[in-house]
Amino acid sequence: MANTVALPQPQSKPTSRTGQMESTLSLWVAGPHTSTGVWECEPGEFTAVRDTCTEVCQILSGTATVHGDDGTSVRLAAGSLLVLPIGWRGTWVIHETIRKTYVLVGAATEPEPIAELR
């Protein structure tokens, strides 16, 4: 049997240009470099920076357009898969309340050892 969970109460989005509210439920954290969860945000516009991590996200519902500072843009809807690499900067324009699952993978400051297979 599948279980569902409710998202926490929405909070003000710090980088919003239009006063949006967002809610994040962290599902799993593995050390300082990896985490995953569910995020939801209401319509509006905000800036985002991925200076320390790559984000991979799957859109579950809603629509948005993501504009990179490099001039690229992509329209997102339910089923879209988006990868924002380390160093990405841009703006999200949420058209309809959007919900996504995400994985954040950060860059280690030193190479991490690879376990030897036996």
Between 114 and 20, the more confident residue is 20
Mind listing the pLDDT tens digit for each residue in 45-88? 999 999 999 999 999 999 999 999 999 999 999 999 999 999 99
What is the rounded CA–CA span in Å between residue 104 and residue 52? 9
Domain-embedded: residue 61: yes
Domain-embedded: residue 117: no
Mind listing the pLDDT tens digit for each residue in 11-22? 999 999 999 999
Domain-embedded: residue 115: no
String of b and e for 42-53 (b: at least 16 CB within 10 Å)? bebbbeeebeeb
Q: How many domains does the chain have?
A: 1
Band of pLDDT at residue 31, cut at 50, 70 and 90: confident
Structural domain boundaries enclosing 66: 13-106
- What's the CATH code of the domain at 63? 2.60.120.10
- Say what the pTM is: 0.85
Residue 108 has pLDDT above 70, yes or no: no
- 34 touches 103 (CB < 8 A): yes
- 106 touches 69 (CB < 8 A): no
Does the CA dihedral 78-73-87-91 come out positive or negative? negative
CA angle 78, 82, 84 (to 5 degrees): 150
